[in-house]
Amino acid sequence: MRMKQVNLFVCEACGTQYKEKQKCQDCEKSHVRPVQITGEKYMPMLCNGEYPVHISVKMADGKTITYRR
């Protein structure tokens, strides 16, 4: 049996696999990265208040995005 070697490029942000290096680089550049957590909200009745239920994150493009669990 002969085996075949396959070379792929993988986007570090989303895990998508590409055969072409340039397409992978374009994918990596398309992701807006978080810069800083700008706020969080805790609720004592959920998980004993140990973990936040909301966080606000400032992104590299200047927008602030709120994530909720």
Structural domain of 62: 32-69
How confident is the prediction along the chain (69 residues), in pLDDT tens digits per residue? 889 999 999 999 999 999 999 999 999 999 999 999 999 999 888 777 889 999 999 999 999 999 998
Rounded CA-CA distance 11/58 in Å is 22
Q: Give the total number of structural domains in the chain.
A: 2
User: Do residue 38 and residue 24 come from a single domain?
Assistant: no
Name, in order, each residue with C-beta under 8 angstroms of 25's C-beta and a sequence gap of 6 or more.
9
Is the model's pTM score more than 0.75? no
Q: Do 36 and 55 belong together in one domain?
A: yes
